[in-house]
Each structure stands twice: as C-alpha cells, then as structure tokens.
Structure 1
C-alpha cells in the first residue's frame, strides 16, 4: 500500500469527475480502453448510438454492448472506493457534512471510525464494537482523524467477497487461471498441481511494478503527440498563408487584363477556395486525431499511476491485464502522418494561356515550407532518446523517455519564425 499522505492532495479533482456530466462519479463503469464514466451518463450516451457497439466518448474506440446493456459493463470498484474515501476524508477534516453511522439504520451522527471495518460508528455502535468480537479493532475519534495523523485509514479498502463462496474474501491469486480466488476456491477448484496460486499481495506488488515501469513510456508518447499536434497546426497556418498568397497573385494578374481574364480569375479563386477547404479538413482531422490520442494517453497514465499508488491489491490485480495491454499499446510510436504537401498550392493557368499566350504564366507556385524548416518541425517527433530500465521484479522495459528540452521548443519556435 502507498505511503500514507493527505489523500486529496494525491488525487486530482478531475480524476474523480465524469467527463460527460463533470460531476463526481456515480457508480463508475470502466470501458476496455480504460476510460471511466457514470453509469447514468453511459445509458444516455448509448441511446444516442444505436447498435451492438458504441464509441467511447473520449477516444471513439468501439465498445461491445453487453446483452443487459450498460449494467453489464465492468464496475470500477477502485474509482468508487476512491470517491467514497475522498468524500469521507473531506467530511471529517473540514466538517462540511454531518456524517452518520454506517453500522446501524437509526441515522445517528457518527463519532468515530473503525479502521478494520472502514465504517463510521455512532456512540451506541462504538460501545457495542468494543465489547463484541470486534473489540480488537482500532477505533479513531473524529478529533484524531482531523489532525491528519490517521489519513492512511481512509486508504484501507477491503477486498470484495468471493462470488462463489459468500463470506470468503479474495486473498489469493491463481497465476494459472489469472484470477483472484478465496481460500475455499484454493481447496476445491484450484487444488491440483496444475494450479499455481499465491498470496494476492505478492502478485499485486509485481503487477504494480510492471504498471509503473510502463507508465513513463506512455508519458513519452504523450510528448510525441503534443509535437504532432503542433506540427499539424504549423502546416495549417502555412496552408492559410499560401492560399492567401494565391488569391493576391490571382488578383494582380487579373487587374492587368481585367476585360479579358475576369471570368477566368473568378474560376481560379473558386479552385483555390475549394482546395484550401479540402486540405484544411484533412489537416483538421489529423489535429483532432492527435488531440484525442493525447487525451486518451493522459487519462490512461493518470489512471495507471493512481491505481498503482492508491489501489488495493485486488484492484491492482483486477485491472493489471487490461492496464498492461493498454500501456503497451500506448508505448508504440505513432506513424508519420504529416503530409507537408497539403500546404502546397498550385494554380493552373493553362486555360488562360489560350487567351494570352505570352502575357500570363502557366502556373503560379506559392511558397511552401522549406525542406530545412520541415526537418526542424518534424525531427523532434522521433528524436526522443531511447532508454531501458530494470524493475525490482526483473522486468526490462525500453522505449522513449524524457521530456522535450527547452532547446527543442526553441528550435520549433525559430522554425516557425522563418516561414
């Protein structure tokens, strides 16, 4: 478990908010792409997208819809428990809301909290708690919790019970079946020699290490995506400059021979507008794709880091397979999709040549990005240094790491200034 600290300072407020309704998660559901949304918000979203699948609201990845609809999507117990823990923490530390006893149904104000049961107790339940089989449990008064000394008790999240054996907690992990199990599962369904199972906290430590090793590589990809977005915007700006230059040139040419070429000049203007619109749409699509990929990578990194740092053993193990697959996918560098030729505008004056053979140029070429400038803009995308690290579990990972330096940003700015 992560070192105790003031819980809200370790978790961003945005991380606990649904990106559809912008409120704190209510019964959060996690999609295969590891994006999270409130169950009611997903119901509304699915109704707008008829079919057996629906696109993720963030990355647009198709998501198969279970037979029982949104209800069948995977619950994110990790996020739900974090929301509950942060809410309780703020209630105790700042006294914003009156917390009631969660052990009885009388609605009495709570005066203490049991660290083992993770429940708030009123005075009556607290007295009973000290006399029953729970007398060995550790109780903290609100005054003790307000000091911040016991913030780590809010991190304590019990593993969920076994679905096959009610009353049994999922304390073990079967490596053969890749699933958490309880003691009874180990005695019956997973008892033969083919099943390799161990304590869930041991597996969680390994999975947590793997996730933390992969996360920096995902962050390096985020930097590449930021640069891709920047390059595409520069290309779009140059397209607009070139298109404007083309218009001015056409007007100049037309002014010298207005009577003869007015009709032709209007046609050429339409061609330039059409070409600019078409190419701008292509570039906008690339920019949108880079922005979506960046948002996806960012949310995945934040989720991965928080899960590894704040998640319980069961939660880390439960998400490890999807999380590792997702992080591995995000460590792959994107393909080179920047087409600098889109910023080039060429005007065909051949039709005008028939009227003024020697007076009108056949083509009007407008300045494009210089090759040296293209290199300065694009080279940072694939110049992130490669490095490898070895984790405490023996896992060796390699890939782009580090941030773009101040010199690199300066070069990009200088490249833009010479256009």
Structure 2
C-alpha cells in the first residue's frame, strides 16, 4: 500500500472539516466533500434536508441514511499509511563481510644448479644451461638453443627501435591531454557565454510579450473608457426623458386625484398635450453596445509548439551515435519513428533534425518532428497507402545509421488469425475473445467447443483445450491468469480453467439460465449477460448473486464490459440496437446508438470492450462494422468491417490493437483503431 502513497501529503487532508480531527469512517457526499460518519449523522439531526457543511449542496439520503453513503477508501488508505509511517522504526543497514584468499606462486628453478644459464631455447622461450642443451633441450626440430648474448643483442636492438617510436606517440598523447585541458578550461566560459546569450534572447522575447501585453491592456482600457463615455452619455439622455415623463405623470396624477373641476378645465388641455407629446416622442432606448473581449489570435497550444523552435543548443553532432526505432505503421493512422541518442544526447535543436518519407510511388509523405525528451525525438507521419515506404533521417545533414529505412505500411486489419477448420490454428465459429496475462489472444470456438490461444504478434497457435460443454460463448481472464468461460446450451453454466486448460471450478447458481458474454473485475466479481432473462447478473467471486442489473431496460443483452475507473458497465443489446450504461449499483447512466448503417448506428451490436483511455469499442453482428465511441457514447470513428460481416466478441491488446472474433469468417482480425 505504501508504494502507492505520496511521501509528502498534507496532514490537513486527513482532517475532517467539521471536527478538525483525523477522519473516522470517512463518507463521501454527492458533491465529493468528505466528512466523518459521526459528524454527518450529528449534522443531519440539526437540519432537514441535509446540506453539505462545506458547500451547502442539498443531499438526499437513502433509506440507510448516512450509512448508505460511499466510504472514501482513498482517505482510509492515507490514514493507514500515515499511521504506519509515524510508527515505523529506522531500518538496519545491510552489512557484508568481504574476505579474500592469498594466492602464493613458486618460482621455477633450474634443476642443474651448478651450471650457469648460458643459452636461450627459442622454441621453448626458456633460459637453459649447457647441460640442458645436451639432455632436455638438445638442438633439433623441437628445440633451438642459442647463446644468451646473441638473443639478448637482438632483443636489445628491438627494444631500442621501440624506444624511438615511443617518443612521437608520447608527444601525440601529451598534446591530446593539453587539448582536452584547453577544452575543459573553455567549458565554463562557453557555458557562461551560452547562458548569457540565452538569457538575453529569452529576455528580449519576454520583453516583446510584455510589450504586447501592455498594448493589449492599453487597448482594453481605451475601449473601456470610450464605451463607458458613450454609455454614460446615453444613460443621461435616457434619464432626461425619464425625468420628463415622470414629472408629467406626477402632475397628471395629482390633477386627476386632487384637482377640482375648474382646475381640470384650466390645465387639462395643457397636461394632455404634454403627456401625448412625451408618449409620441420617438426615443432611442437601445444602448448599441456589444461586450468586448480578448481574442487569442494564436492559441496557447499552437504557441507552445512554436516555442520548441525558439533557440536550442548547437553542438558538433555525431550522427553515427543516433539510432532510429521504427514502430508498426498502419494506413490512415498517425505512425511514429523514434530518434534516440546512444549515450550523450545527440541534438536539442529541432532544426538540426530532418526527415523525409516517400510512399511506394515516390510521392512525399509529410512528416512532423517533435522533441519528447532531452535529445529524443518523435518523427510522426500518416501514410495514405499501404506498401513499402522509405524514411530518410538526418541529423545536422548527416545520415543516421541505416537511413533511408524501409517502413512496411499495413492496411486494416493488420493481422488475420485462423481459417475455417478443426485443426491446430484453425477456427470454427469463434464467439468470445479475451487477452491473457501474457498479452496473447484467447478465443472461444463454439463450433469446435474449445478455447485456443494465439500469439498476438505472429498469429501462431500456442495451445488449446476443450471446454467440455455445449454452446460455449463468452470468455475473460481474471487477475490470476485463469480463464472463465460461459456456456448457454445443455450443461450450461460458468467454468473456471487453469492456464493449461484444467477445469478448476464450475458455477451454476440458481439465478443463471442462459449465460452469454461476461467480464471479470479486478476484485474477481463477475458480470454475466443473460439474454433469456433480459438482464445482467453481478456475481460474487464464488458465483453467488449480488444483484440483477438492467431488468426492464434490456431486451437481448449479449456482451458486457466494465470501466472500473468510472464504475460504469456497458451492455450491448441486439434487439434495441443500443449500448446501455449502468453503474454497478444497477442504476441506469445513459445509452447510445440506434438502428442504422451510418456512423454511430448499430446493426445488432454484440462485442463490447473499454480501452485504458475510456473509449468504447463495439462490434456489429448485423453488418460486421467495428466502431469506436468516446466514454460518453460520442461516435469517434469506424475501424473496419470484418470478414463475412458478422463481428462477435472484441478485446483490446496491450499494444493498442483491437482483436475481433469473426463468426462467419471463422477467424480473428486484429485492427489498429486509434
């Protein structure tokens, strides 16, 4: 737990705003403010309806009262972490005793001790005595004893020759040392000069921005004064007319209410004329003013991109130390090649990096270069056609090793796995698809009544195992890497299999009749679609029922997926041609889609999954289209149409592809979708 907690969190974050003490059983209000359970209960007794003590938002409590509010588990974890941190004792440093062995070596000695060493055996490279030349080192094909003086003289001459070669080399190395010393001496002044120049440059840019800011603020002030003066004049003119009409109204009212008949006859005509004149007067009551506002002629995001080209560090670059890493490329999608330095950063100025790409016909493909970190760059492009492209990358006009590169651009799908049949690597009526703990693709084959696992990169079959039941349909992988498979026909139920395919457990609760698609949560709870009952089942890890979801809203639920980051589950409904969203408490959130073949329309939606970004991917059984929607159900794009026009289960791979089970095509297709 502690590894997920910040070391410097504010203790005040752990204090309840009401009692100012550490939270006790923290509860979250709908406005997302957190308080102690007891504090809220006490607060609720003082006011009805209950209002948040912080923001005064009214809170509608359920029948359970404060107990029905959600617990703030994150605050609980922080409290546990703070308590553990406060009570932790200093650790004991690791100690190691280092030992060594003394290795003694003996010097070989000549066995003929009374003789002097007078010869050198060139074959054995050993000093020998006169006796040795007769016994052990007799001249011949194996030995060649020569007088020591002769060999020593030759060796001395060789060493003298080497001595003559050493001096020039020493001078060269010493000169190199001095050159490095000069460069080291110039390093600090070079840094200082570059720093000063950079500061002056950016100060000038800042001055220009400040100058422009002052100009804009002055224009705003001037416009405000001019508009204020005009509006004040307008106000005075209107107030003048208002005063005249108010005065006439008062005089007329007094005459009517308090004047005698004589008085009415004397002033009646005059009052009438005055009032009629004022009422008939054409007044310009419109202020003729529209609120002025500041306009960003250049968006901050666009300016941020331009800032990257405002200066850079220019140095002598060795392009041979740079490396280009090519990523998989798919037609119509943004593709990336990475320029990385090996060791020292190669360049920090984008102007020094150039990239040119041509498609198979020789047409230029626009590229963009963007710095992602110190000395590392992304080269992005969107290929319009498939086939072999050529990418040329230069740093300071020098080709990097391997440039130009061959880039194979694939179409969608990028990989098709399997074909119709019952052999290894073949498929028959695949329905559910999931990704296992190793990133490989697991498929339920309804026709072959088995689960088969494929390598996601090559499409090669890795292994398979029978499921031993009729009508296998959905599949998912739990946090332990075991497989869960549903079957809806004879011997229906939910079965758990080991990675090797051994049956570990069978679930057949009374609430289950015709299980189809399923998904497993991180805490091992399960959600199963039940089209016969027109609902979904939320189950405990042991298979017992927690609650029914979607009763009265769903018609033919087929597949389910859960976005646990938002506590939202998505269910495809073939009959309604929609995707329904519920929270795990069973409350409807929203739905999207309608019958149709246009963007965002459905023809019997089936497989559904949610990617790490919250996007929702849906396959259609009616026309085979695979579509991507935002987290709120807004249509984003069409991915493609599967073989034979009948998409079933879908799953997202770790490297960002979507695997789609093609029921009629008897294969799995892998698509790039974002």
TM-score tier, shorter chain, comes to under 0.3
Find the structure with the greater CA-based Rg: 2
Q: Which has the higher strand share?
A: 2
